[in-house]
Structure 1
């Protein structure tokens, strides 16, 4: 481990690694020395991220996987154990916007899809990766949330509800592992120049927004063995770590 490669010899996994914040974070982790397990649905996108990681001198394992396939997530955990015996960093980035619609107008299939990706898949990842992360001397988890989790904005119900659930999931996981080496935190990127943002706000000028690489640069420190906070949320628009009010 060196100052410019603080994650040398570490194994990191990023979901939704083929574009946007996920791709930028995978590259940042690779540049910091980690071998990155890139999970995504698009074979072409995975090949592109592999090329970009190689361009910064990094290495990657490509995993084409639909996160709605829960059994595949379980199998991935087994493969990681057989190959690496641990997992050092997990960035839970994958998510979908879902329908922007009044709650009563959301189709059940659309509801099931967004819950499956944004919530259930992350819980399955917790089940599959928790033992691996606890085998690391400094397991680090960053789950990507959204400011929508804290706002009851009209027509954003499915997305906001799943992100709120994700935040409670991360905080619960952090509380359950507080006495060990595993640290679990959340990251709110705010408005970022991504395809999801463009879908939600089609009239917005994307060049007025921060690039995914800027968010990735803020995520990286949360992944380092030296980062000792847990159960917190880093708010990128404010540029600071926020604490949740914990129950007595």
Structure 2
């Protein structure tokens, strides 16, 4: 896949660490110019430096996706510099507390839904013109097994991911007859990330796949001529049912 995306523009959310950072670096190595989006500027700068050192190019966009009109301003800034967006990786998400449904904190649940669902719709709306302008745009939405298979204590996060999947697949269906935009839902499976460590403290990260391994599999999917609505799981469970969080 060496330089397969030369001249292409990619945007990755949650790109300061974990799966987002690994995917951004893989896209940069493949020739794409990568717009790196996350709240933490320092983390983005580190990813940008690694991309540059590997011979790629990137632009950082420190942004809280859940705050105000930041997404609209980001899209406007990208649109001033580029004519189209070829790859959009919707990776940013908030886990929230793992708790019984009756004990879910309403304010925290609101924050989870704001980032995991409302901000995702804002991204699709704001970047829709640039995606339509691409000859072959691809959108990858990072999800979780609990979106389709509800599990005790995962109600808030699972509900947000189920809503996210519905939203993204509806958009893909809307685009299927009027543009070249294609959408895929990806469950990375057990991956050694900070979010995973929060959900499963004490788990040995060496027993599950690394973000770089997840990124390699996602890049293989991007290289395919997948149909809109495609669903992929990139890794099996490391320990029985402990497979909900990868991002």
Cα deviation for residue 70 of structure 1 reads 4.2
Q: Does 1:137 align with 2:113?
A: no
Q: Distance in 2 between matches of 1:122 and 1:222?
A: 21
Q: Distance in 2 between matches of 1:207 and 1:55?
A: 27
Q: Is the 8 A contact 2:175 2:181 kept in 1?
A: yes
Number of the residue aligned with 1:12: 10
* Counterpart pick for 1:151 among 130, 134, 149: 149
Cα deviation for residue 228 of structure 1 reads 3.9
Q: Does 1:189 align with 2:188?
A: yes
Number of the residue aligned with 1:201: 200
Q: Does 1:69 align with 2:67?
A: yes
Q: Distance in 2 between matches of 1:222 and 1:86?
A: 21
* Counterpart pick for 2:36 among 29, 33, 38: 38
Q: Is the 8 A contact 1:140 1:222 kept in 2?
A: no
Number of the residue aligned with 2:99: 101
Q: Distance in 2 between matches of 1:190 and 1:70?
A: 32
Equivalenced residue count is: 235
Q: Distance in 2 between matches of 1:70 and 1:234?
A: 33
Q: Distance in 2 between matches of 1:39 and 1:9?
A: 19
Divergent runs of 4+, >2 A:
221-224
Root-mean-square deviation over aligned CA pairs: 1.2
Number of the residue aligned with 1:245: none
Q: Distance in 2 between matches of 1:115 and 1:65?
A: 17
Structure 1 unaligned segments of length 5 or more: list them: 239-248
Number of the residue aligned with 1:216: 215
Q: Distance in 1 between matches of 2:68 and 2:45?
A: 23
Cα deviation for residue 232 of structure 1 reads 1.1
Number of the residue aligned with 1:173: 171
Q: Distance in 2 between matches of 1:223 and 1:76?
A: 24
Give TM-score scaled by structure 2 length. Answer: 0.92
Give TM-score scaled by structure 1 length. Answer: 0.92
Q: Is the 8 A contact 1:142 1:222 kept in 2?
A: no
Q: Is the 8 A contact 2:209 2:235 kept in 1?
A: no
Cα deviation for residue 106 of structure 1 reads 1.3
